Structure 1
Amino acid sequence: MEKKSSHRMAPASSVTVHVVSPEDRADLCALRVADEQTRFVASNADSLEEADENDACVPLVIRAGGQPVGFAMHALDEDDGNRWLYRLMIDARFQGHGYGAAALSLIVRRLSALPDCPFIMLGVKPENEAAIRLYERAGFRPTGETIDGEMVMRLDV
């Protein structure tokens, strides 16, 4: 049985989401999902590299009590003109404390405030049941489409 981290957890109400600064990069690259979740999300290093190469990608640091606990990235997709949540991860040590739900709520608020954003799209692997539950609780619904083996979900904002 894996031992849980003994450090004190910040309340989910202390979660903030900000655009990644150069100083955040090393901390973000050190964050990891649980081993069994690695097939569901790209590494933060790969995601940051993608953001460096694509100006449409906006990488975000998720903090709880000021400490980096996760990463997200969104973009305006040039192919379909939709706002997409491309990445959302919470480090394995910080999962189960409401940080993912709090961050998702903040990201939805951020995106819905952008011009011409009537809905938010995302793709999720069908076997990632925990993520699907999180997204459904936030109001995302399956569209019936799949892209590269991922179920497409949409939230009307």
Structure 2
Amino acid sequence: MNKNNVKIAEANAENWYECCQLELSLDQQEFIEPNAISIAQSKFEPTLKPFAIYYEDKVVGFLMFNSEPEELDANWVYRIMVDKNYQGKGIGKAATDLMIHEMMETYGIHKIVVGYHPDNQGAHSLYESLGFVDHGDRFGREMAVVKEVKNN
């Protein structure tokens, strides 16, 4: 799937190592697990779907979601990150939008939840701009925001 030079593709033998080499800015490192851990987790939990984020044919980010519903009767997004050198270009927003469409089209998902630390202002701005709503749900140290989606 493509959107403004941004595309997502399933993590695979050709791109997984590039995903592992991506770096977060210092102020984000405390909020997100390393991509290598997420990729390993997906091998033991097959409902987790890892994707590389490409910008102009270069891997610049990583995301992962669960294809099966969990808490709040929703499908959870486990990771969304863009390398520190590519932030601020709208790549994260475009990739998240592509991910939402992938979740809807491939898995028929109707409710998406993202959990993030309340101090992560970048995540807050991103999800709010994409229509995720805070209903006050909290899981451990994370807040959970919800987006209801309609399948055509």
TM-score above 0.5, yes or no: yes
Instruction: Give matches, 1:36-47, under 5 Å.
Output: 36-47=27-38
Alignment match of 1:146 (pick from 117, 134, 138): 138
Do 2:69 and 2:75's aligned partners in 1 also have CA atoms closer than 8 Å?
no
SS state at 1:55 partner: coil
Instruction: Give matches, 1:4-153, under 5 Å.
Output: 13-77=4-68, 79-80=70-71, 81-153=73-145
Identify unmatched segments of 5+ residues in structure 2: none
Higher Cα Rg, which structure: 1
Do 2:7 and 2:55's aligned partners in 1 also have CA atoms closer than 8 Å?
yes
Give 2:90's aligned amino acid: G
Instruction: Output the CA distance in 1 between the equivalents of 2:24 and 2:74.
Output: 27
Give CA deviations for 1:97-144 in whole Å, capped at 9, x if unaligned: 110011011011111224442111110100001111110000001121
Shift, 1:78, TM fit: 5.8
Do 1:32 and 1:92's aligned partners in 2 also have CA atoms closer than 8 Å?
yes
Superposition misfits of 4+ residues, deviation over 3 angstroms: 76-81
Aligned length: 146
Instruction: Output the CA distance in 2 between the equivalents of 1:25 and 1:136.
Output: 29
Identify unmatched segments of 5+ residues in structure 1: 1-11
Does the C-alpha gap of structure 1 residues 115 and 94 become closer, same or farther in structure 2, counting only changes over 3 Å? Answer: closer
Query: Identity rate of aligned residues, in percent?
Result: 28
Do 1:120 and 1:155's aligned partners in 2 also have CA atoms closer than 8 Å?
yes
How does the TM-score come out when normalised to structure 1?
Answer: 0.88
